A and B are shown apart, each in its own frame.
Chain A
Amino acid sequence: DGGITQSPKYLFRKEGQNVTLSCEQNLNHDAMYWYRQDPGQGLRLIYYSQIVNDFQKGDIAEGYSVSREKKESFPLTVTSAQKNPTAFYLCASSLGLTGNQPQHFGDGTRLSIL
Chain B
Amino acid sequence: DAKTTQPNSMESNEEEPVHLPCNHSTISGTDYIHWYRQLPSQGPEYVIHGLTSNVNNRMASLAIAEDRKSSTLILHRATLRDAAVYYCILFSGGYQKVTFGIGTKLQVIP
Q: Please give the residue numbers on chain A whose beta carbons come within 8 Å of chain B beta carbons, in ascending order.
A: 4, 33, 35, 40-45, 48, 56-59, 88, 90, 92, 97-100, 102-108, 110
Contacts A99-B31, A102-B46, A110-B41 supplied; 9 other A-B pairs, CB < 8 Å: A42-B103, A43-B87, A43-B99, A58-B96, A59-B99, A92-B43, A98-B93, A103-B36, A105-B36
Q: Which of B34, B90, B94, B99 contacts A44 (CB 8 A)?
A: B99
Q: Which residues of A contact B99 (CB under 8 A)?
A: 42-45, 59
Q: Which residues of B contact A48 (CB under 8 A)?
A: 95
B21 within 8 A of partner (CB):
no
Contact B49–A102 (Cβ < 8 Å): yes
- Please report the number of residue pairs spanning A and B whose Cβ atoms sit closer than 8 angstroms: 75
Q: Which residues of B contact A92 (CB under 8 A)?
A: 43-44
Q: How far is the CA of A103 from the CA of B47 in the complex (A)?
A: 10
Q: How far is the CA of A102 from the CA of B47 in the complex (A)?
A: 9
Q: Per-residue 0/1 for B99-110: is the Cβ within 8 Å of any A Cβ (1 yes, 0 no)?
A: 111110000000
The interface on chain B, measured as residues whose beta carbon lies within 8 A of the other chain's beta carbons, has a size of 28
Q: Per-residue 0/1 for B46-73: is the Cβ within 8 Å of any A Cβ (1 yes, 0 no)?
A: 1001010000000000000000000000
Q: How far is the CA of A103 from the CA of B36 in the complex (A)?
A: 9
Contact A99–B32 (Cβ < 8 Å): yes
Q: Which residues of A contact B87 (CB under 8 A)?
A: 42-43
Q: How far is the CA of A98 from the CA of B99 in the complex (A)?
A: 16
Q: How far is the CA of A65 from the CA of B54 in the complex (A)?
A: 39
B81 within 8 A of partner (CB):
no
Contact A99–B102 (Cβ < 8 Å): no
A50 → B minimal CB distance (Å): 9
Q: Which of B34, B51, B98 contacts A58 (CB 8 A)?
A: B98
